[in-house]
Amino acid sequence: MVETGEQTGLVMLTEIRSDPEVIAFLQQANETLRGLGYTEHGQRHAGLVAQVSANVLTRLGHDQRLGQLAQIAGYLHDIGNLLHREHHAQSGALMAWPILKRLGMPSDEIALVMNAIGNHEEERGTANNPVSAAVIIADKADVHRSRVQNPDPATFDIHDRVNYASTRSLVRVDADQRVVALELEIDTHFAQVLEYFEIFLSRMTMVRQAVNFLGCDFRLMINDVYFS
Ligand SMILES: [Fe+2]
Ligand SMILES: [Fe+2]
């Protein structure tokens, strides 16, 4: 049974999701990025990263509360885009602080969530606890057609093309073998596999570090071919 915050006294994703400030910040962050031509970074991306972050930790046998904190950090990780794309991990962590405090989250939990949000970008982020590792894995795995916001295929940039070409993306966790795999289907009518590597190499390096931090090996599978 999934426990609610009311039953446990703990802050849960359901409260975060329905918080008017979080809703407004996330919507505006996505509108800002849409205006700049970026892929979707709104409620869809937030919800998916929340779910996958929690799944990774749960499947690997981590404490249930750590999974819930990863869910919350995953949901909030991109709110910093409201201020600016640059340094949005650090600004997002600072934006999350008063929200989580207002909702009554204890400081030790806030610290973990802030750290995970602040470390999710490849320019300067490193996984240094299970929560930050899970958010990195979930965030970088979200490469999918449904993220493309540009309605005009003639003006697609490489990010639009690669995301549009991705018809399936899945994080598979094999707890027994200690393997975390990212499995992608790339429709090569829209982008070449090489183009995926062109824009995602630094992200995959970051994912590998996060997976290794969790004591697992990383595998990347594209169109049924393993790259490891
Ligand atoms: Fe981000
Ligand atoms: Fe993200």
Cα(38)–Cα(109) distance, integer angstroms: 31
Distance (angstroms) between ligand 2 centre and the Cα of 185 equals 20
pTM: 0.94
d(CA 55, CA 49): 10
Q: What is the pLDDT of residues 166-180, one digit of tens each?
A: 999 999 999 999 999
Residue 111 Cα to ligand 1 middle (Å): 18
Interval 167-196 mean pLDDT: 94
Distance from Cα 176 to the centre of ligand 1, integer Å: 30
Query: What's the pLDDT tens digit per position in 71-90?
Result: 999 999 999 999 999 999 99
| Distance, CA of 197 to CA of 62 (rounded, Å) | 31
% of the chain surpassing 70 pLDDT:
96
pLDDT above 90 covers a percentage of the chain that reads 82
CA of residue 136 to ligand 1 center, whole Å: 9
What is the Å distance from ligand 1's center to 101 Cα? 22
Task: Name the helix (H) or strand (E) containing 227.
Answer: strand 225-227
Q: Which residues surround ligand 1, an ion (CB under 5 A)?
A: 78
User: Which CATH number do you get for residue 62?
Assistant: 1.10.3210
Which-ligand-closest: CA of 137?
2
Q: Indicate the number of domains in the chain.
A: 1
Phi, psi of 191 (to 5 degrees): -155, 150
For residue 60, what are the contacts with CB-CB under 8 A and spacing of at least 6? 173, 175, 214, 215, 216
DSSP conformational letter for 147: G
Q: Supply the mean pLDDT for the chain.
A: 93
State the Cα–Cα distance between residues 132 and 210, nearest whole angstrom: 8
CA of 115 to the centre of ligand 1 (A): 13
> Which is higher by pLDDT, 46 or 193?
46
Distance CA 27, CA 217 (A): 36
The predicted model gives 59-65 an average pLDDT of 97
Structural domain boundaries enclosing 151: 5-227
Query: Residue 32's pLDDT band (boundaries 50, 70, 90)?
Result: very high
The neighbourhood of ligand 2, an ion, using CB within 5 A, equals 78, 139
Ligand 1 centre and the CA of 60: distance in Å?
24
